[in-house]
């Protein structure tokens, strides 16, 4: 007599699904890999082609404009330290991976969040899926990514995209749902269409909340990109992995410091951009 596990073998069913996708939709995954790889190469070229000193200056000016003098000084010292330690190329690879993953996450997440805010049924369907995505251990995402996209940066971007997607969907939905009723009624009174109401009223008002979602997505993407070093994504994740496997305390610590510097820079700049959006909205 068959046991319940033999009848309901969830792991085998998921494995069968992945094998079916590999056999019947390989062309689709090749196309996705080509698009992601092309975008990633373009972003990486932008950061790797100019001299490192010029990029540090530009990052410092961006931090100054967005967050003020304190973060600008930290940015200049932090990225100069990364250059001094010899991990500039790996740091730019990691930044490129984060930007690529976040770009595609926003491309999917913001429309999904808008859809969820407009339909209670859509939100009821999406909510348990997002809960599952957020609670599934990060390492599990690497398995189907490798099976479908092989080793390299592309599966790293795909796994990072899926792992970092939920916050921007949730907070886009929340931001639009929290738009005051008075604003919606005023738009209707002036005869605005649903698209006009969304683009000219709801999204601008919800922008600070959406930017908070973008900030969380970037932070999750950075953490996942480091883990993706295990499947050949490269960057600082590879440096940390080498430090672990070779018991190189110096390499692991320096790679970790580089990740911290990059994380603080991205966090403070995106937080500042959300505050700038809120100030501009309040002025209007």
pLDDT tens digit sequence for 179-203: 888 888 888 887 778 888 888 888 8
Average pLDDT over residues 217-236: 84
The whole-number pLDDT of residue 197 equals 84
| Domains within the chain, CATH numbers bracketed | 4-283 (1.10.3720.10)
The whole-number pLDDT of residue 170 equals 92
Long-range contacts of 190-198 (CB under 8 A, 24+ apart): 198/114
Q: How far apart (Å, rounded) are the C-alpha atoms in residues 66 and 272? A: 5
The whole-number pLDDT of residue 1 equals 43
The whole-number pLDDT of residue 223 equals 85
The whole-number pLDDT of residue 244 equals 81
Q: How far apart (Å, rounded) are the C-alpha atoms in residues 218 and 270? A: 9
Assign 58 a pLDDT band (cuts: 50, 70, 90).
Answer: very high
Helix axes 69-85, 88-118, angle to 10 degrees: 130
Helix axes 88-118, 203-227, angle to 10 degrees: 140
Question: What would the pLDDT profile of 140-157 be if each residue is shown by its tens digit?
Answer: 888 888 888 888 888 888
Of 8-12, 96-100, 122-126, 242-246, the one with minimum mean pLDDT is 8-12
Nearest CA-CA partner of 210 in 159, 98, 218, 184: 218
Long-range contacts of 176-182 (CB under 8 A, 24+ apart): 176/113, 176/114, 176/117, 176/118, 176/202, 176/203, 176/206, 177/117, 178/206, 178/209, 179/205, 179/206, 180/205
Q: How far apart (Å, rounded) are the C-alpha atoms in residues 269 and 185? A: 34
Average model confidence (pLDDT) across the chain: 85
Print burial letters for 81-91: b (CB count within 10 Å at least 16), e (below 16): ebbebebbebb
Q: Which residues contact 96 (CB under 8 A, 6 or more apart)?
A: 40, 43, 44, 47, 235
Compare 11 and 162 and report the one with higher pLDDT: 162
């Amino acid at each position: 007599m068959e046991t319940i596990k033999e009848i309901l073998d969830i792991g085998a069913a998921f494995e069968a699904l992945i094998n079916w996708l590999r056999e019947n939709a390989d062309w689709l995954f090749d196309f996705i890999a080509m698009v992601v790889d092309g975008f990633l190469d373009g972003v990486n070229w932008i950061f790797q082609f100019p001299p490192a000193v010029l990029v540090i200056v530009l990052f410092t000016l961006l931090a100054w404009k967005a967050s003020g003098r304190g973060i600008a000084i930290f940015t200049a010292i932090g990225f100069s330290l990364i250059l001094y330690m010899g991990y500039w190329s790996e740091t730019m690879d990691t930044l490129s991976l984060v930007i690529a993953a976040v770009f595609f996450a926003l491309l999917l997440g913001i429309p999904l969040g808008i859809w969820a805010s407009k339909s209670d049924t859509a939100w009821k369907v999406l909510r348990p899926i997002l809960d599952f995505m957020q609670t599934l251990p990060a390492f599990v995402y690497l398995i189907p990514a490798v099976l479908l996209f092989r080793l390299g940066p592309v599966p790293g971007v795909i796994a990072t995209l899926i792992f970092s997607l939920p916050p921007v969907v949730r907070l886009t939905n929340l931001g639009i749902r929290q738009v005051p009723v008075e604003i919606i009624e005023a738009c209707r009174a002036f005869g605005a269409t649903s698209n006009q109401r969304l683009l000219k009223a709801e999204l601008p008002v919800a922008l600070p909340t959406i930017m908070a979602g973008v900030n969380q997505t970037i932070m999750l993407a950075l953490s996942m990109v480091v883990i993706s070093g295990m499947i050949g994504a490269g960057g600082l994740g590879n440096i940390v992995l080498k430090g672990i496997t070779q018991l190189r305390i110096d390499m692991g610590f320096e790679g970790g410091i580089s990740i911290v510097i990059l994380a603080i820079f991205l966090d403070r700049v995106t937080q500042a951009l959300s505050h700038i959006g809120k100030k501009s909205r309040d002025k209007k």
